[in-house]
Amino acid sequence: MGLRRGGSDRSTSEVTFLGFDNMTSSRLCRLMRSGARAEELAENAGFPLHIPKEVPITLLPIGEELGLLGEEIDPKGVYLK
């Protein structure tokens, strides 16, 4: 599949962006929406999750951004479904 180093070192969901490495095993890199609580995510992860002191939040695209994504960037829905 063209992956290097044995696999992916990042994973994303509707709520989180996780990173994986040998030092912390898994760590929360970014919250993908405001209102999500890092502590609650760690409690429900099902695996040990390292949470840094400050976790940035990425707001989901809205309005014009969604239009650009669907009409200009990925009009065939190859990446965004």
How do the domains of the chain map onto residue ranges?
10-73
Contact of 52 with 27, CB cutoff 8 Å: yes
The three-point CA angle 62-15-29 to 5° equals 110
Span 2-16, average pLDDT: 68
46-57: average pLDDT: 85
Query: To the nearest whole number, what is the mean pLDDT of the chain?
Result: 79
pLDDT given at position 68: 92
pLDDT at 14 over 80: no
pTM, whole model, 2 decimals? 0.56
Return d(Cα 7, Cα 21) in angstroms, integer: 11
The whole-angstrom separation of Cα 19 and Cα 11 is: 7
**pLDDT of residue 3 exceeding 70:** no
